[in-house]
Amino acid sequence: MFKMADNYSSSKENKEEIDKNLKGNEKKKFEINKYLPYILIILVLVVVIVLFANLSSELNGISNKLNSLSSAKPTTSVTPNSTTENSTILSDPSYNITGSLIVPPKSLPNDPVITANASFGSRLTNINQPLNKSELALFNNANDSYFEEAGQMILNGTFGGYVFGSTVGSNAEVKILDNPFVVNGKPSVIYFGSTTCIFCGENRWAMALALGKFGNFSELYKGYSSFGDHDIPTIYWAPAHYNQSAEDLGNFYSSKYINFISIEDDLPITGGFQLNPMSTIGARINATNNSVYINAFKFILQLNNFQGTPYTIWGKYNVLGADDADFGFKSEPSGNPSIEYKTHNMVFDNISHPNSEFGYLEYAGADLYIAMTCASINNTAPICSLPVIPKLESYEGYN
């Protein structure tokens, strides 16, 4: 009897324990269910953050590898005036051609100079106005000491992350080509950009300073980036079709060391950044029947590494983007570059007497372009003997 009572009480205890456990489990299950939606939302947030944090560098690495694989494919070598193409296995396309460069018109009746003043951000005052002699001299006869000073500032790390000229690493800004694009026996600087693009607008100042050290501009023109890309003051290589969809081909540059081949895509400047489809740009270039420009654009397409504008080639060096980007934004509200609030005269003043971050950064950007060009022409131009240039060639991996 006692045994039965014992059995009864222990089974009752067991049952109570089982009930307790069940209730506990139900409570736990209920709590997990209660927090599951929050967990899901937080999980999505974490995934998004981690995904974007890693995606850029990982996919950049993948796309760089894919690009290097595709550009390592066999290509044909083009010889001038040949009726048949020679099949030669090369790692990068090779061009050695003769021909004349395009000289653009000095004015465009449908895109006249605008003299009316307007507020910053929607301002086209003096667009397509040619630079006068003293303004041109800022680029044709820029003081060597400013290039030297800015170059030293690059080497000292003064500019932090705002100068981009490295050839090292999978995310390098500069790719070394096997062969420059040679026209009439000279290597070429090729520029492909857009009048609507803010980075092109900023970088043309540095480009003009660099090109001025190897040759001479007989004409340059005042311009702006598009309203949607902050309407910053810039210079154009030729009068721009700022009201329409078109290509501005050619410039007024001459040099005994290099050619300057400029392809500027246009869309209405009152809009935002936009690029015409490559097929459209190619068709317009083909319509000129100019073999230099046709082959230059073909060269760009064959390199197969276009990631945005500005896209430039300096002899043997292919720069994937701007090489400096100073919009003077440190003192301005987030997203509004302070150069947007400057007139052309203010920028000219900054360049003629660089006493600001903007001025020196433009010379720094120019220094990198100069170093690339010097490395491509065996340092034959006088500017190449500036003390800082060979140091920059070494520093950035151009030799």
Partner 1 sequence: MIAINFKSKKLSILKDIFSKPLYLAILVVAAVLYYFLLYTIIYMSSFRGIVILTVPVYMFYLLVITSAILITISIYGIRKRIAIKDATAGGVVSVVMPSVGGLVAGCGCSAPLLSSLLIPVLGSIGAEGILSYLSAYNVYILGILTVINLLLVYYQLHLLSR
Q: x-or-dash pattern for partner 1, window 335-374, by CB under 8 A?
A: xxx-------------------------------------
Q: x-or-dash pattern for partner 1, window 304-333, by CB under 8 A?
A: xxxxxxx----------xx--x-x-x---x
Nearest approach in angstroms of CB 55 to partner 1 is 7
Does 72 bind partner 1 (CB under 8 A)? Our answer is no
Provide the greatest CA pair distance for the chain.
122
Which residue, among 188, 191, 211, has the nearest Cα to 258 in the 3D structure? 188
Q: x-or-dash pattern for partner 1, window 202-241, by CB under 8 A?
A: --------------------------xxx-----------
Does 121 bind partner 1 (CB under 8 A)? Our answer is no
Does 243 bind partner 1 (CB under 8 A)? Our answer is no
Site for partner 1 in 255-274 (CB under 8 A): 271-274
What is the C-alpha separation between 228 and 42, in angstroms, rounded? 35
Burial class (CB in 10 A: 0-12, 13-18, 19+), 90: middle
With contacts defined by CB under 8 A, name the span among 58-66, 103-111, 124-132, 147-155 that binds partner 1. 58-66
What is the C-alpha separation between 210 and 366, in angstroms, rounded? 5
Report in angstroms the alpha-carbon separations of 392 from 151, 365, 371, 383: 7, 11, 6, 13
Q: Give yes or no for a cis peptide into 180 (omega within 30° of 0).
A: no
Does 294 bind partner 1 (CB under 8 A)? Our answer is no
Nearest approach in angstroms of CB 226 to partner 1 is 9
Does 40 bind partner 1 (CB under 8 A)? Our answer is yes
Q: Contact with partner 1 (CB under 8 A): which of 74, 109, 157, 161?
A: 161
Burial 24-60 (b: 16+ CB within 10 A, else e): eeeeeeeeeeeeeeeeeeeeeeeeeeeeeeeeeeeee
What is the C-alpha separation between 348 and 57, in angstroms, rounded? 38
Ramachandran bin of 341, using left for φ above 0, alpha for ψ from -120 to 50, beta for the remaining angles:
alpha
Binding site for partner 1 (CB under 8 A): 37-38, 40-41, 44-45, 48-49, 52-53, 55-56, 58-60, 62-63, 66-67, 161-162, 164, 194, 196-200, 228-230, 271-275, 277-278, 301, 304-310, 321-322, 325, 327, 329, 333-337
